[in-house]
Amino acid sequence: MPKIIRFEALARCGGEIWIENEGQIYRLRKTRQGKLILTK
């Protein structure tokens, strides 16, 4: 079973986090409507 982590727990100080995966940087942010957008 995959581990579930609340977005609010990751982004404690705001509405976005930066994720590094295999040398690539990604931005995960929460919109005003509560949706998540992942961009490279």
How confident is the model over 11-25, as pLDDT tens digits? Answer: 987 899 999 999 999
CA distance 19 to 29: 11
Q: Are 8 and 17 in contact (CB under 8 A)?
A: no
Q: What domain count does the chain have?
A: 1
User: What range does the domain containing 26 cover?
Assistant: 7-39
Q: Per the structure block, which two tokens stand in for 37?
A: 């957008």
Q: Report if residue 1 sits inside a domain.
A: no
The answer to the question of residue 24 being in a domain is yes
How much is the pTM? Answer: 0.79
**8 A C-beta contact, residue 14 and residue 8:** no
What CA–CA distance (Å, rounded) separates 4 from 34?
Answer: 17
Question: How far is the C-alpha of 12 from the C-alpha of 39, rounded, in Å?
Answer: 20
Within-domain flag for 2: no
| pLDDT class of 2 with cuts at 50, 70, 90 | very high
Query: Per the structure block, which two tokens stand in for 34?
Result: 């509560």
Q: What pLDDT shows up at residue 13?
A: 79
Residue 35 in this model has a pLDDT that exceeds 90: yes
